[in-house]
Amino acid sequence: MVLPIVKLPAQVLRRPVTDVSFPLHKDVRRLIRDMLETVIKADGIGLAAPQVGQSLNLALIYLETSGIPVFPIINPKIVETSKQRVAIEEGCLSLPGLFGEVTRPKKIVIEYQDMHGKVQRLDDNGWIARVCQHEVDHLIGTLIIDKLDSVTQGQELLKIYSDRKG
């Protein structure tokens, strides 16, 4: 089932998430399947649970157009980041129409659990690194509007998306 994507200023995008426990509850399995349908329908490359209204510590990385099979990152933690940082244009399904440059470490090491609860460790300096950082930000309530260096598209949307905290 395709789920509605939550947009700012919805507070669920700012709320802390709860770790996912194993074995995965059937509702969580269903959520992951629904998130996959949702990210495909939305033409996205990643989707975090808070973006579909669930305060759970999980996201999907959907880079199939780059030849990378889809995978969930459950209870992820970025354990290493490179000193080298790069600015790349990003958008976000929760901030439609807004695009801008975000500077992030080029390379990361991320640890997360897979669907079976097994801890996976991934080392990347390309798209996976970039998308994982964006999604892990969602899981700590951080959005690209908090770290944009410059807006490349949708300047007028900044006001509309400006956060109303509390």
Q: Catalytic residue positions? A: 135
CA distance 39 to 43: 6
> Minimum CB separation from Co ion for residue 135, in Å?
7
CA distance 81 to 89: 19
- Using CB under 5 A as the binding rule, the residues of this chain from 20 to 39 that contact Co ion are none
45 binds Co ion per the rule CB under 5 A: no
128 binds Co ion per the rule CB under 5 A: no
102 binds Co ion per the rule CB under 5 A: no
> Minimum CB separation from Co ion for residue 51, in Å?
7
Q: What six digits make up the tokens of 11?
A: 């507070």
5 binds Co ion per the rule CB under 5 A: no
Residue facing Co ion at closest CB distance: 92
CA distance 87 to 105: 9
Q: What six digits make up the tokens of 85?
A: 């940082």
Strands 58-63, 46-48: pairing kind: antiparallel
Distances (CA, A) of 117 to 18, 26, 62, 97, 132: 15, 14, 20, 36, 18
Task: Give the binding range for Co ion (CB under 5 A) out of 56-64, 68-76, 84-92, 104-112.
Answer: 84-92
92 binds Co ion per the rule CB under 5 A: yes
Task: Kindly determine how many residues on this chain lie close enough to bind Co ion according to the rule CB under 5 A.
Answer: 1
Footprint of Co ion on this chain (CB under 5 A)?
92
